[in-house]
Amino acid sequence: MPANKVCDFCLSEAKGLFSKYESLPDGHTICRDCKQKIRKYNLPVEYDLFQLLVVSDPYMREMIMGNYLEHHTADETIVKFFPQPPYQLHKGEHLINESEASIKVSKAAIPYTVAIDVIGNITGHMINDIPDAPAGVEAEVIKGKLYETDIALYFISKHFVNCHRLSDMVRSGDDPAAIHVLEKKLTFTYQMENTDMFFMRDTLYHKIVAAQANKKQNLIYINSENTMTLTPGIYSIPRNIRAGTYYISALNDLGLNLRDVNGHLHDISNLERVMLNEGTLLECTGEYQLRINPKKTSSEE
């Protein structure tokens, strides 16, 4: 009796005569569910990294990225997934994401002039930073493009340009239909599809950069008896870091998440302190300092 087909993407096994499994031109087998998920993200139906990521459980994605980078160089990975765009960026700037997006703003705030549409030509006086429309005002949904580079987050539309620090972007990824930016007392909500793909690309890019800088996963710099610095990686409690309460300072605020014992992910990058319990994981894509004691203020020093 021939063996049942197995999907090479989700590893599920075909059951019954009418199971929808098919062979791809490269020889891999795919099930109907995985094929539908891949098409939902407008990806080609083939066996490659992002196709594996979109069909996998979210808590497995960083492990899949890490495994990919163990078998491919950082340089070839960045050329493949983050090629130079056909338009100009600022000197030294690299593109991470480009997506169709929209934001609902006050109609009265929209300029009549035509905005610059090339990132590399944007200067400070060209930035409008028009936030979400307050409740009760006449509003309009403005379509444009959302760009993430390793320098900033841009929204470029026909009549205005918004530009944000990367540290102001909410990185929880809990909203599948919008990217949120919190800037002082203003909010910017960019509606778009497949925000998890946006954050997957962001995470992969920073893993590649860390690999190019010869930083290994789970690399911890011990600054003193009470202070350590985390670089990009996944840290197990208590195997890599002793359980306890730690005070957090961001050195490169690109993401610090805590995965609890139930597998739920919590963004802790904006917390002043956190309790690390046994069995939890720290997932770091930036650089953060953890201290056993609170940081002294200038008046205490």
Q: Indicate whether 204 belongs to any domain.
A: no
Strand ranges, E, within the chain: 21-23, 29-31, 95-106, 139-149, 153-157, 161-164, 178-183, 186-191, 220-224, 227-230, 233-236, 244-252, 256-259, 265-267, 273-276, 281-284, 287-291
Q: Indicate whether 121 belongs to any domain.
A: yes
Specify the pLDDT at position 212.
Answer: 75
Least confident range of 242-246, 272-276, 293-297 = 293-297
Specify the pLDDT at position 252.
Answer: 85
Q: Indicate whether 99 belongs to any domain.
A: yes
pLDDT at 1 over 50: no
If asked whether residues 114 and 184 sit together in one domain, one would say yes
Domain that holds residue 122: 95-197
Q: Indicate whether 254 belongs to any domain.
A: yes
Specify the pLDDT at position 274.
Answer: 93
> When comparing pLDDT for 148 and 176, which is higher?
148
Q: Indicate whether 262 belongs to any domain.
A: yes
If asked whether residues 74 and 140 sit together in one domain, one would say no
Domain boundary among 129, 162, 197: 197
* Phi, psi at 79, each rounded to 5°: -65, -40
Domain boundary among 59, 81, 103: 81
Specify the pLDDT at position 176.
Answer: 84
If asked whether residues 106 and 166 sit together in one domain, one would say yes
Neighbours of 211 (CB within 10 A): 21
CA gyration radius for the chain? 22
At a CB cut-off of 8 Å and minimum separation 6, what does 29 contact? 5, 6, 7, 8, 21, 22, 23
Q: Indicate whether 166 belongs to any domain.
A: yes
Q: Indicate whether 4 belongs to any domain.
A: no
> When comparing pLDDT for 175 and 174, which is higher?
175
Tens-place pLDDT, residues 198-217 = 999 998 998 888 777 655 45
Return the sign of the alpha-carbon dihedral for residues 69, 74, 75, 78: positive
**284 beta partners:** 233, 256
Domain total of the chain = 3
Closest C-alpha among 248, 241, 268 to residue 257: 268
If asked whether residues 76 and 116 sit together in one domain, one would say no
Long-range interactions of 259-265: CB distance < 8 A, separation 24+: 259/59, 259/283, 263/59, 265/58, 265/59, 265/172
101, 146 in Cβ contact below 8 A?
Answer: yes
39, 45 in Cβ contact below 8 A?
Answer: yes
Average pLDDT over residues 124-130: 94
* Phi, psi at 205, each rounded to 5°: -60, -45
Q: 232: pLDDT confidence band, cut at 50, 70 and 90?
A: confident
Q: 301: pLDDT confidence band, cut at 50, 70 and 90?
A: very low
At a CB cut-off of 8 Å and minimum separation 6, what does 250 contact? 167, 256, 269, 286, 287, 288, 289
Q: 2: pLDDT confidence band, cut at 50, 70 and 90?
A: very low
Q: Indicate whether 248 belongs to any domain.
A: yes
Pairing of strands 227-230, 220-224: antiparallel
Specify the pLDDT at position 192.
Answer: 96
- Cα–Cα dist 266/274, whole Å: 11
pTM: 0.74
Domain boundary among 197, 232, 255: 197
Tens-place pLDDT, residues 254-264 = 888 888 887 67
If asked whether residues 233 and 258 sit together in one domain, one would say yes
If asked whether residues 76 and 106 sit together in one domain, one would say no
If asked whether residues 132 and 180 sit together in one domain, one would say yes
Least confident range of 69-78, 96-105, 245-254, 258-267 = 258-267
If asked whether residues 114 and 166 sit together in one domain, one would say yes
153, 147 in Cβ contact below 8 A?
Answer: yes
Average pLDDT over residues 269-276: 90
Does residue 269 come out as left (phi exceeding 0), alpha (psi in the -120 to 50 range) or beta?
alpha
Q: 181: pLDDT confidence band, cut at 50, 70 and 90?
A: very high
What's the CATH number where 188 sits? 2.30.29
If asked whether residues 69 and 106 sit together in one domain, one would say no
If asked whether residues 103 and 189 sit together in one domain, one would say yes
If asked whether residues 99 and 155 sit together in one domain, one would say yes
pLDDT at 195 over 70: yes
